[in-house]
Amino acid sequence: MTTRKRRAPRRLLALVTISLSLSLLTACFSESGPAGGTGSDERLSLAMLQPPRSGLSPLSDDAFKLSRWATAETLVVLDEAGEALPGLATGWGQVDDTTWRFAVRQDVRFHNGNELTTGSVVNSLQHAIDASPVPRILDGVELTVEADRDEVVLTTAEPDPLLPHRLSSPQLAVLAAEAYTDSGVDPAGTGTGPFELTAVDGVVGATLERFDDYWGEPASAAGIDVRYVPDGTARAAALRTGEADVVEAIPAGQAASIDADLITEVPMPRTNTLYLNTETGPFADPAVRAAAREAIDRAAIVESVYEGRADVAEGLLGPALPWAADFREEAAYRELLDGRSAPADVDGVPITLGTFTDRAELPEVAVILEQQLEAAGFDVQQDVREYQFIEADALDGAFDAFILSRATVLDSGDPVAYLASDFTCEGGFTIAQLCSPDVDAEISRAAQTEPGEDRQRASMAAEARVLAADAAIPLLHERVIQGESARVVDAVRDPRERILITADTHLDAAQ
């Protein structure tokens, strides 16, 4: 287990060696090789929800594809509880309030044969620091990085107790220097994971092969063949017919048509939320926001749209963060919610309601919400588009209300970055247009608190402040339905959607 000291010795001892591996890219499914079980020639076929949006650059959201396919790795990884553990770093220590030292794992090679060094770590992190836009996990963080023999020294402008967790973000993966070119970042053949990305076929798919020189336990499967299948019905059919071994995000409406033994529901740190524009329009009035809050029947949405395969939201943070529910019972939390504005009487109040089509359930949620809000006296006009065509308007405050499926722990495994991004005056994703000194102060307090129970309690105090303002009405916490054929062994069911295939994942030859 990693130890974190206030005054760390200059040289760090190697701590724990972990073969927890992340994941990579996509290609058309190939025929499996001869059955042979673990370590055989058999390959894994994977159907993924979305094609890459940024050429598989790790500095974008495409990084999560790289991590889910065990090809690009980070200095730090997170365990199931969200605690930071060694990855490509064997250990770390905090020298002072703003300085940390990370010991880089020895005897690691990139897929192109080059050795992992402190220089290559610095190079990758510096590209992330200099990127425009900067990776989400570094938004608002001033960071410098330098090499010192077998350690990397990171310095922040302000104390940042969450720095090791930040370094677990797939967007801060360490790639060989050759990955970084004038035209972008190319992860093919430049990662360190148990699978090497060997071929990329645009928005169709990609191919990965077992990397025999992996620093940990070698992969059991010979390779991964990935296809991008945006259509949910087609993904479900790929599982039913055996065309795919592992399938991402089967729509709730398709689940009933699949053998129950082949699907698993995983609670996600993702909340379907109705954001209300607190700055302009009818919802600038807290009493009108309260009227919308009281009009909504969350359970009806879960039962009708999600066919019961979601959890009714009691707050912004859901069951994927099991500690959240307990803090909602504390007196200070309940007091804030009890002090919310009383609902106004509304009669024919016109509002615009926006959402997007990329998540199939959201337009259906919009229909149910329109009915519920109109029954309470609102006159609803919907605007539903693809996300890429509606995001800018949502962030500019063009809607009175907006339905969003939002990850609540973002890249660090911690909810504070999400709260800061969505609900502070200077946040980068303020669809609710909220600017409240009380909310800002509570989120700032959480951000400065050391990881652990105190930070969890501070995060929940910030949640209570946001809910007390009725800036956002949490509707439900999503579950992802993951499909696996009967032959799949050790695919990962990860609530954070970082890991899917690991070195241990393979097909059972006996099935």
Q: What is the pLDDT of residues 215-236, one digit of tens each?
A: 999 999 999 999 999 888 999 9
- Alpha-carbon span 272 to 251, nearest angstrom: 15
Confidence of residue 3 (pLDDT cuts 50, 70, 90): very low
Q: How far apart are the first and last CA of the chain?
A: 37
List the domains of the chain with CATH numbers: 43-245+485-507 (3.40.190.10), 268-479 (3.10.105.10)
* Least confident residue range of 2-6, 151-155, 289-293: 2-6
Q: In this predicted model, which residue has the larger pLDDT, 134 or 376? A: 376
* Least confident residue range of 85-89, 258-262, 372-376, 461-465: 258-262
Q: Taking the mean position of all CA atoms in its chain, how far away is CA 350? A: 35
Residue appearing with tokens 């109040």: 349
pLDDT of residue 141: 86
**What is the pTM (predicted TM-score) of this model?**
0.75
Q: Which residues make beta-bridge pairs with 267?
A: 479
Using an 8 Å Cβ cutoff, are 235 and 248 in contact?
A: yes
Q: Which residues make Cβ contacts (< 8 Å) with residue 469, sequence separation at least 6?
A: 278, 286, 289, 434, 436, 439
pLDDT tens per residue across span 295-349:
999 999 999 999 898 999 999 999 988 899 999 999 999 999 999 999 999 999 9
pLDDT of residue 10: 33
pLDDT tens per residue across span 150-186:
999 999 998 888 899 999 999 999 999 999 998 899 9
Confidence of residue 40 (pLDDT cuts 50, 70, 90): low
Confidence of residue 35 (pLDDT cuts 50, 70, 90): very low
pLDDT of residue 410: 64
Alpha helices in 321-435 (DSSP H): 324-327, 331-338, 361-375, 387-395, 416-423
Pairing status of strand 180-181 against strand 143-148: unpaired
Helix (H) or strand (E) holding 224: strand 223-228
pLDDT of residue 139: 78
